[in-house]
Chain A
């Protein structure tokens, strides 16, 4: 690694020094043209731009903040990880959805064999492999345990048949970690296995799905007699549910980050000014509700993160963060559409005063927030049972992220 610091340095720095060092580095190295802005407040990077950026991070020792150093990560404490994310947000760095770093990596560290760790982890960091998550199926969304993609074991291989859907960035990915059915048991959560699939294997077919922002972020993936080496099983056979559950750790906290709502509210303020509505008390009262909601939510988020940094395990309260953060961001974009008046009904670029934005894109970008990662209805079920201790009705609850 030709870094600007040795990996051990950073976690020893005082928080403020660490923050400044990262701020300076981002200022110097993150391309201005790729920043989140009023037109694309929730911009993401993918493809070649994402690869280049992540390789630069690796080269300078800023990649994989949560990974322990023994696996090539930065090994930051939770508090420094928070600062790390704050600074990326502060510098308007577009996000990269890297399921290899955030999901598969930590899973392999816990459940993978030494060989699997040695084979896959460095290639995640170097971006030689790019991973997607294969969980959802046409009839297994919120009710994930009803998944049916089948893997039949012969002497050396699993033979996989079936279909995954809503697979984010499958069309960019080289590999998929997937939950597949390997056995029949009375309990549906049993008989599921966690396997690693090279998407270049014969029999894999990927079809992108165009979403409401006009982008092909997610895909359908079909498996037709796809042969996957037996060594690609992670954890025990039929125990994939347990393996997958352990993914839902600290990273979930960051889904609740208020940062992108901050970008949206900055746009809201600007649009109100551009339209000369800052003397309209009705409009200002609506804006005040959103500003106060964001202000108060930031306090709650900071408080919960502090608890975790002091050593509490992130529990089901994290679901509460996800619910509020995502719905707040949706409400802000809805306000922006309202302020955009006629432009609110039109697609593409809108020039409002001196501000160029895309109201439709940001409204639509916030729709899936309450759907993916466990729909907000499911999150509410989790909080009701796990935090408020409310009774279970008829019908078993078979969600992946139900707290036991």
Chain B
């Protein structure tokens, strides 16, 4: 990337940061449950700020910004412990629609979905996973037969209001090659869709059953092996954004812990003056430096668009590092706050909960390190 492009992106990020600060400050200052913003409130405010359209191409009415910008935003959400819904319901669907757009061109329904997303009229979510612990989109067992969907998806981020699910399936009827993967849109409110919701800090996910459920537009959005590729690419975009959010969580948890240990007096001195506390904090700080370097690198690699394998390697390194770092700092924050840290009221535990959510969703650190190793190809950074 040329220095000017880099500078332009940096300026965009700076502008976005400035416009995001009032939103974030207002919502982050909510300390009681009663003050917490509802997902619906956040969702429509984000639409007013234009954030749902950031990643969409201009031809779909978006701002065509890159993932670096979106990740800078999710990092701020992480620092403020704001929900992860932006990644699940904006970044991943937008990456998916963008990739489908590149394959299919200007389909009318694509414009409709993009408009629904950017105006927050409908909330989108991607339903791809069918097994616990999956990283790559599998050839789905969920079946599409004569425009009706049957099967079960796991860990589907829940939608706000009347949402739309983007679902992977394989087609089984005479209209198509039997067994081809397809991507379809489904109204989440269809009566034949049943869900069981699991709650996490900042994101709820559901097991979703489809029982002969009709699909929107009566035909797939995309068909053929490319389905798995575009879904995989959208997941990696989401993972980079999650990594940035996790680094934000880690930095904020450490910041809050530093404030605490520097004013908490025991043995007639701040406990932050003890070497053992200091050294722990330094190690956590170093971990956050590494974490930041990894997601920034991954976002850059994603933007420079080399091979899927290069993106996979950089993304998995970032997801593993940021997941491990956020959970490490989250646990240490509880410990260094003492008994106070173990109370619900103090709110310190929310950092660990947010870390656990982000570290496990879209693949654990262990899984991502294995994927990182599987895509072993020396990249530019490794010349150093």
Docked Cα-Cα span, A258 to B373, in Å, equals 19
List A residues 300-349 near B (Cβ within 8 Å).
300-303, 305, 317, 320, 323-324
Q: How far is the CB of A401 from chain B (nearest CB, A)?
A: 15
Docked Cα-Cα span, A188 to B262, in Å, equals 28
CB <8 Å contact, B285 and A388 = yes
CB <8 Å contact, A388 and B282 = yes
Q: Is B382 an interface residue (CB 8 A)?
A: yes
Query: Which partner residue on chain A sits nearest B298 by CB separation?
Result: A299
CB <8 Å contact, B294 and A299 = yes
Q: Which residues of A contact B283 (CB under 8 A)?
A: 323, 380
Segment at the interface with B among A25-33, A175-183, A391-399: A391-399
CB <8 Å contact, A300 and B384 = no
Segment at the interface with B among A73-81, A288-296, A360-368: A288-296
Q: Is A383 an interface residue (CB 8 A)?
A: yes
Q: Which residues of A contact B279 (CB under 8 A)?
A: 377, 380-381, 384
Q: How far is the CB of B178 from chain A (nearest CB, A)?
A: 36
Query: Which partner residue on chain B sits nearest A387 by CB separation?
Result: B285
Partner of A258, one of B272, B317, B372, B384: B384
CB <8 Å contact, A295 and B274 = no
Partner of A295, one of B278, B281, B372: B372
CB <8 Å contact, A384 and B289 = no
Q: Which residues of B contact A284 (CB under 8 A)?
A: 370, 373
List B residues 251-292 near A (Cβ within 8 Å).
258, 261-262, 269-270, 272-275, 277-279, 281-283, 285-286, 289-290
Query: Which partner residue on chain A sits nearest B284 by CB separation?
Result: A388
CB <8 Å contact, B369 and A292 = yes
Q: With A301-B384, A384-B281 in contact, do A393 and B269 touch (Cβ < 8 Å)?
A: yes
Partner of B384, one of A302, A383, A385, A391: A302
Q: Is B143 an interface residue (CB 8 A)?
A: no
Partner of A391, one of B272, B285, B317: B272
CB <8 Å contact, A299 and B278 = no
Q: Which residues of B contact A320 (CB under 8 A)?
A: 282, 285-286, 289
Assign chain B's interface to a size class: 35 or more
Q: Which residues of B contact A262 (CB under 8 A)?
A: 382
Partner of B294, one of A296, A387, A392: A296
Q: With A295-B317, A300-B290, A320-B289 in contact, do A384 and B369 touch (Cβ < 8 Å)?
A: no
List B residues 268-326 near A (Cβ within 8 Å).
269-270, 272-275, 277-279, 281-283, 285-286, 289-290, 293-294, 296-297, 317, 320-321
Partner of A288, one of B274, B277, B370, B383: B370
Q: Which residues of B contact A300 (CB under 8 A)?
A: 289-290, 293
Query: Which partner residue on chain A sits nearest B258 by CB separation?
Result: A388
Query: Which partner residue on chain B sits nearest A317 by CB separation?
Result: B289
Partner of A380, one of B282, B366, B381: B282
Q: How far is the CB of A321 from chain B (nearest CB, A)?
A: 9
Docked Cα-Cα span, A320 to B285, in Å, equals 9
Q: With A296-B317, A320-B286 in contact, do A285 and B381 touch (Cβ < 8 Å)?
A: no
Docked Cα-Cα span, A127 to B283, in Å, equals 41
Q: Which residues of A contact B384 (CB under 8 A)?
A: 82, 86, 258-259, 298, 301-302, 305
Q: How far is the CB of B363 from chain A (nearest CB, A)?
A: 14
Q: Is A390 an interface residue (CB 8 A)?
A: yes
Chain A residue total in the interface (Cβ 8 A): 41
Q: How far is the CB of B143 from chain A (nearest CB, A)?
A: 33
Q: Which residues of B contact A377 (CB under 8 A)?
A: 275, 279
Chain B's interface: helix, strand, loop or mixed, by majority?
helix
0/1 per residue, B105-149, Cβ < 8 Å to A?
A: 000000000000000000000000000000000000000000000
Q: How far is the CB of B92 from chain A (nearest CB, A)?
A: 24
Docked Cα-Cα span, A38 to B369, in Å, equals 26
Q: Which residues of B contact A289 (CB under 8 A)?
A: 369
Q: How far is the CB of A368 from chain B (nearest CB, A)?
A: 20
CB <8 Å contact, B273 and A288 = no
Q: With A303-B293, A384-B282, A393-B269 in contact, do A292 and B317 touch (Cβ < 8 Å)?
A: yes
CB <8 Å contact, A391 and B262 = yes
CB <8 Å contact, A324 and B269 = no
Q: Is A71 an interface residue (CB 8 A)?
A: no
Query: Which partner residue on chain A sits nearest B322 by CB separation?
Result: A296
CB <8 Å contact, A384 and B278 = yes
Docked Cα-Cα span, A299 to B372, in Å, equals 15
CB <8 Å contact, A299 and B285 = no
Docked Cα-Cα span, A299 to B298, in Å, equals 10
Q: Is A67 an interface residue (CB 8 A)?
A: no
Docked Cα-Cα span, A267 to B376, in Å, equals 16
Q: Is A88 an interface residue (CB 8 A)?
A: no
CB <8 Å contact, B269 and A394 = yes
Q: How far is the CB of B84 from chain A (nearest CB, A)?
A: 23
Query: Which partner residue on chain A sits nearest B316 by CB separation?
Result: A292
Partner of A296, one of B261, B290, B366: B290
Docked Cα-Cα span, A350 to B296, in Å, equals 42
Docked Cα-Cα span, A287 to B273, in Å, equals 36
CB <8 Å contact, A324 and B286 = yes
Docked Cα-Cα span, A383 to B376, in Å, equals 33
CB <8 Å contact, B286 and A292 = no
Q: Which residues of A contact B376 (CB under 8 A)?
A: 291
CB <8 Å contact, B370 and A298 = no
Q: Which of A86, A288, A298, A381 has the most CB of B within 10 A?
A: A288
Query: Which partner residue on chain A sits nearest B289 by CB separation?
Result: A300
Q: Which of A287, A295, A323 has the most CB of B within 10 A?
A: A295
Q: Is A297 an interface residue (CB 8 A)?
A: yes
Q: How far is the CB of B83 from chain A (nearest CB, A)?
A: 27
In the A-B complex, the 10 residue pairs with the smallest Cβ-Cβ separation, listed nearest first, are A384-B278, A393-B273, A299-B293, A300-B293, A288-B369, A391-B273, A380-B282, A380-B279, A383-B282, A390-B272
Residues of chain A at the chain B interface (Cβ within 8 Å): 82, 86, 90, 258-259, 262, 284-285, 287-289, 291-292, 295-303, 305, 317, 320, 323-324, 377, 380-381, 383-385, 387-394
Residues of chain B at the chain A interface (Cβ within 8 Å): 258, 261-262, 269-270, 272-275, 277-279, 281-283, 285-286, 289-290, 293-294, 296-297, 317, 320-321, 366, 369-370, 372-373, 376, 381-384
> What are 26 inter-chain pairs, A to B, with CB distance below 8 A?
A259-B384, A284-B373, A292-B372, A295-B372, A296-B294, A296-B317, A299-B293, A299-B296, A299-B297, A300-B289, A301-B384, A323-B286, A324-B290, A380-B275, A380-B278, A380-B279, A381-B279, A383-B285, A383-B286, A388-B285, A389-B262, A390-B277, A391-B262, A391-B273, A393-B273, A393-B275
14 further A-B pairs in the complex, CB-CB below 8 A; given A298-B382, A388-B258, A393-B269: A284-B373, A285-B366, A285-B369, A288-B372, A295-B372, A295-B382, A296-B294, A296-B321, A299-B293, A320-B282, A320-B286, A380-B279, A384-B278, A388-B282
